[in-house]
């Protein structure tokens, strides 16, 4: 049985132009027969499915699939709930774990079990479903760029890359520091494929019986990997301020018990003043004092830099004598003295600047490693064999051409980019075969 609770915007709390999604939870174990109802779906997920064949010491009458995704169980329930167009749209969001039996795992990016957010909707018309799929792609992009400071290219997947059973798949593609692409989030217009398979019908306003139009969309803990690989350096993590569990760590510096007592007392006053300032300004400052004994300041610096905490405030007896501390940025390693009298404003402004700077640095790196001018296929192969990056070029639309390029270079079409990401001058011929281009494609090696 599915469980649903209070409503709220799924995926991200952006301003909604439509009724917000309802948070729900659906079963982890799905009857195998459900997966077989949609042919493309079972073909796409069968190699990754984990199957439960025994329970309670006995062989099950029907094997159960540990959910690799939840379309089948959710649309089974939707079909029970919907009778009329008045019951639509249904907008549901689930935070859950899924299992996909990966042969080659990679921490955060491709693991057998992972956590994710998945949304599922049912609509009266195709256009409503398309609007929802595109809207959620925008929600994901806003979060990735606004919070993770990870710039992405959005666009439509080719048929070979689209979600199993979908009409169209849209994705957010980010460039990591090794110039490989990471598919950071997807949104799917499922058309009526699942509605037909699970008999999800409704009576229209005119009295006819119609199949609903569905969407699904999701992001996962893969975004944690995206954050690490977008911003990390040889020292460790660099966490964007908006995502940092601690935005500012205060490290007291002392040599004697007398100095320890003096500095810790001052550090607590500073923390308290920041919290008081925080309430006045409706800010989100998260402050921690590292008062651990038996560790030198340098060891503490190393640990907090490894963890990627955005700001460090060093306070010692000499600093207190001057009513100041030393503020250190994790992203640039910049150190500067700051007055304790205006520390709240200074810290807040620095955190905001860091958030913007980290996005700007990642965006500049992406564009520096993107090729938009026309290049020959030989040059493309050399580029992918070397440092790699994003290549925007023409594509004839032939899946055979797409497959051959992947065989030759390991690069795939990450997406057919949305208009704002396309080249100023549209390519006219295919990258590989020189036939007329039907669209512009963005090629890259990927995780």
Checking if the pLDDT of 151 tops 90, the result is yes
> Angle 221-225-226 (CA atoms, 0-180°, nearest 5)?
105
pLDDT in tens, 43-90: 888 888 999 999 999 999 999 999 999 999 999 999 999 999 999 999
Average pLDDT of the chain to the nearest whole number: 93
pLDDT in tens, 222-271: 999 999 999 999 999 999 999 999 999 999 999 999 999 999 999 999 99
Checking if the pLDDT of 7 tops 60, the result is no
pLDDT in tens, 349-401: 999 999 999 999 999 999 999 999 999 999 999 999 999 999 999 999 999 99
pLDDT in tens, 84-133: 999 999 999 999 999 999 888 888 888 999 999 999 999 999 999 999 99
> For residues 397 and 441, is the Cβ–Cβ distance under 8 A?
no
- Residue ranges of domains in the chain, CATH in brackets: 3-231 (3.30.930.10), 241-353 (3.40.50.800), 370-444 (3.30.110.30)
Q: Is the pTM of this model over 0.85?
A: yes
CB atoms under 10 Å from CB of 61, counted, come to 6
Place of tokens 């030393």: 326
CB atoms under 10 Å from CB of 314, counted, come to 19
Q: Which of 409, 426, 404 is nearest to 417 (CA)?
A: 426
pLDDT of residue 42: 72
Both structure tokens of 188: 């799917």
**b/e per residue, 279-300, with b = 16+ CB within 10 A?**
eeeebebbbebbeeeeeeeeeb
pLDDT in tens, 206-216: 999 999 999 99
If you write DSSP's letter for every residue of 311-335 in order, what string do you get?
EEEEE-HHHHHTTEEEEEETTT--E
> For residues 164 and 41, is the Cβ–Cβ distance under 8 A?
yes
pLDDT of residue 16: 46
> For residues 322 and 260, is the Cβ–Cβ distance under 8 A?
no
pLDDT of residue 103: 84
HSE-up of 317 (CA within 13 Å, CB side)? 9
| Mean pLDDT confidence for 300-305 | 98
Dihedral (CA of 291, 296, 298, 304) sign = negative
- What three-state secondary structure class fits 211? strand
Cα gap 82→77, rounded to integer Å: 9
| Mean pLDDT confidence for 160-174 | 96
């Amino acid at each position: 049985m599915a469980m649903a609770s209070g409503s709220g915007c799924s995926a991200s709390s952006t301003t909604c132009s439509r009724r917000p999604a309802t948070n729900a939870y659906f079963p982890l174990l799905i009857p195998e027969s459900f997966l077989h109802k949609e042919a493309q779906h079972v073909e796409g997920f069968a190699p990754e499915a984990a199957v439960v064949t025994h329970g309670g010491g006995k062989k099950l009458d029907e094997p159960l699939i540990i959910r690799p995704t939840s379309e089948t169980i959710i649309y089974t329930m939707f079909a029970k709930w919907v009778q009329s167009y008045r019951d639509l749209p249904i907008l549901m969001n689930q935070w859950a774990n899924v299992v996909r039996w990966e042969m080659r795992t990679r921490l955060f990016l491709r693991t057998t079990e992972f956590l994710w957010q998945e949304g599922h909707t049912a609509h009266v018309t195709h256009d409503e479903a398309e609007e929802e799929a595109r809207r959620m792609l925008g929600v994901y992009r806003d979060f990735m760029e606004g919070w993770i400071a990870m710039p992405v290219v959005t666009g439509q997947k080719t048929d070979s890359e689209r979600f199993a059973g979908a009409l169209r798949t849209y994705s957010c593609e980010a460039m990591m520091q090794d110039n490989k692409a990471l598919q950071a989030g997807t949104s799917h217009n499922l058309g009526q494929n699942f509605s037909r398979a699970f008999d999800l019908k409704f009576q229209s306003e005119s009295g006819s019986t119609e199949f609903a139009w569905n969407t699904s969309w999701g992001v996962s803990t893969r975004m944690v990997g995206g954050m690490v690989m977008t911003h990390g350096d040889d020292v460790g993590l660099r966490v964007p301020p908006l995502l940092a569990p601690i935005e500012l760590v205060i490290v007291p510096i002392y040599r004697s018990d007398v100095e320890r007592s003096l500095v810790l007392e001052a550090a607590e006053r500073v923390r308290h003043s920041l919290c008081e300032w925080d309430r006045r300004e409706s800010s989100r400052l998260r402050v921690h004092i590292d008062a651990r004994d038996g560790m030198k300041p340098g060891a503490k610096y190393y640990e907090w830099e490894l963890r990627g905490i955005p700001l460090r405030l060093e306070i010692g007896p000499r600093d207190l004598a001057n009513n100041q501390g030393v503020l250190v940025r994790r992203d640039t390693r910049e150190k500067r003295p700051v007055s304790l009298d205006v520390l709240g404003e200074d810290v807040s402004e620095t955190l905001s600047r860091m958030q913007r700077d980290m996005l700007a640095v990642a965006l500049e790196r992406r564009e520096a490693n993107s090729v938009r001018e026309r290049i020959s296929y030989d040059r493309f192969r050399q580029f992918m064999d070397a440092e790699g990056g994003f290549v925007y070029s023409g594509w004839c639309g032939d899946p055979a051409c797409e497959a051959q390029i992947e065989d030759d270079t390991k690069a795939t079409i990450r997406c057919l980019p949305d208009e704002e990401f396309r080249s100023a001058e549209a390519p006219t011929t295919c990258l590989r075969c020189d036939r007329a281009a039907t669209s512009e494609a963005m090629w890259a090696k990927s995780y």
